[in-house]
Amino acid sequence: MQDPYSERMNASETRAASGLALVFAFRMLGMFMVLPVLATYGTDLQGATPALIGLAIGAYGLTQAVLQIPFGMLSDRIGRLPVIYFGLVIFAAGAALAASADSIWGVIAGRVLQGAGAISAAVMALLSDLTREQHRTKAMALIGMSIGVSFAVAMVVGPLLTRAFGLSGLFWVTAAMALAGIGVVATLPRAHRHIHHRESGVAGQALWPTLRHPDLLRLDFSILALHAILMASFVALPLALVSEAGLAREQHWWVYLTALVVGFFGMVPFIIYGEKKRQMRRVVLGAVAALLCVELFFLGLGDRLWSLVVGMILFFTAFNLLEASLPSLISKVAPAGGKGTAMGVYSTSQFLGAGAGGILGGWLFQTGGLGLVFGGCAVLCALWLLVTWRMQEPPYVTGLRLPLSELALGNPQLAEDMLAVPGVSDALIIGDEAVAYLKVDMQILDREALDRLVA
């Protein structure tokens, strides 16, 4: 039996994790590169209004939210690769439609079609098929890292590409990256079997308990609010740099680069503090309060270049901190065997927030200008703070999925015996999969006692 605590991936697993991380990065680059430029360059499109530009910014999130869980379930039935190939083709077609459009409605249609290529769940399921149990968390972390890096790159490269090739050229580059993603998937190792993995896919029987879990709901609202604030703010911030600070739209890239780099390093000490001292609740509440202060700062002082740069540094410090912390909290709070379902609901909430934030930001700007956008974001931050205030300190546990021997499966009290092992806080036995899903505190886990029960 493979050692569940081994830390080295083999060459096939490394290639699979790296390739799928690259596919994620290509897609997310295509999603995010328009974020810093659409508010300024979109005004050149026929029929453009602030409200419609906001809809174009957030439109992809609406179809992503609706389709990502169904596409994940479809991949269980017809296979991962057909769903992933189809999703990337749809994404490329949406980018091509937006690139060919000369009106805002054409760009909106293209963004909606881009979002319909909702392959996140299918990619994560394929990752489960191609990696062994003991390395899956590491492989998923690599994908999470690729998403973060792609966001940072998109915020800088988007303005540079648009400056060189225009908004149409930016969408053509996005289409090319989606097609390149198809080539990457074609080179991946082939899975010998599909693994129904409750830690990386949605389980129907776990959906209702997930939707009733108070702290999981608070985290779902948190990611919804975070991405709504991001999208709404980026309806306003590029326009503020032009109209309030007098910075030409071709020069915005250096502002985003400065804010992202400083913001990334600024969030690291808080992550370390929260995990080492087991104070993640305090860190999350502090970051939400910081976002509230930043939006109020933009509202009162966002009329000069220096204040917008300082505000964006603080914004991205808090945003990066929350973007990194919230998925970790989902993993900690979700019950044994429920992480995949919890992450599915969480991701759906994230995309709903992106769609709603773009629409809300555009409507608020059209109604009352920059001040109303920043004020609306501040109100959402205050509501978010109230929602999360009663969140409990999460358990500092890690999820494990351990294959069970026939002898272990014959033990009718296996779950109770596992819960008696020091460090095990939750256990779920799934006989059909011949596995045990556990939540364990690695600092106090008695690994030898657990291995005896499993074998």
- Average pLDDT of the residues in 372-386: 96
CA distance 435 to 222: 32
Instruction: Render pLDDT for 201-255 as a digit per residue (tens, 0 to 9).
Output: 666 666 777 888 899 999 999 999 999 999 999 999 999 999 888 899 889 999 9
Residue 133 is predicted with a pLDDT of 63
pLDDT tens digits along 432-446: 777 888 888 888 888
8 Å CB contact between 223 and 273: no
Q: Do domains 11-188 and 398-454 have the same CATH topology?
A: no
Alpha-carbon distance 106 to 100, whole Å? Answer: 8
Residues 26-36, mean pLDDT to the nearest whole number: 87
| Cα separation, 290 vs 321, whole angstroms | 11
Decide: 446 and 423 in contact? Cβ < 8 Å: yes
pLDDT (0 to 100) of residue 288: 96
Whole-number pLDDT of residue 402: 82
State yes or no: pLDDT of 124 exceeds 90.
no
pLDDT of residue 105: 96
Question: At the top level of CATH, which class does the domain 11-188 belong to?
Answer: mainly alpha
Read off the pLDDT of each residue in 345-371 and give the average, rounded to a whole number: 93
Domain spans in the chain, listed from the N-terminal domain onward: 11-188, 211-396, 398-454
The residue among 222, 227, 423 whose CA lies nearest residue 330 is 222
Least confident of 51-65, 173-187, 407-421: 407-421
Per-residue model confidence as pLDDT tens digits over 144-179? 778 778 888 888 999 999 999 999 999 999 999 999
Q: What percent of the chain has pLDDT over 90?
A: 44
DSSP state letter for 250? G
Indicate the pLDDT class of residue 5, thresholds 50, 70 and 90: very low
Please, are residues 136 and 17 in contact by the beta-carbon 8 Å criterion?
no
- pLDDT at residue 194, as a whole number: 62
Average pLDDT over all residues of the chain: 87
Instruction: Give me the residue label for tokens 């002082």.
Output: 301
d(CA 372, CA 349): 24
CA 357, CA 80: separation in Å to the nearest integer?
31
- Which H or E element spans position 444? none
Return the CATH number of the domain spanning residue range 398-454.
3.30.70.100
Note the pLDDT of residue 4. Answer: 45
Q: Which CATH number fits domain 211-396: 3.90.1150.10, 1.10.645.10, 2.40.280.10, 1.20.1250.20?
A: 1.20.1250.20
Q: At what angle do helices 120-130 and 50-78 cross, to 10 degrees?
A: 40
Asked whether the predicted pLDDT for residue 8 surpasses 80, the reply is: no
How does DSSP assign 326-360, residue by residue?
Answer: HHHHHHHHSPTT-HHHHHHHHHHHHHHHHHHHHHH
Reading the block at residue 228, the tokens are 């709504």
Q: pLDDT tier at 1 (50, 70, 90 boundaries)?
A: very low
Of the pLDDT bands very low, low, confident and very high (cuts 50, 70, 90), residue 2 is very low
CA distance 244 to 222: 30
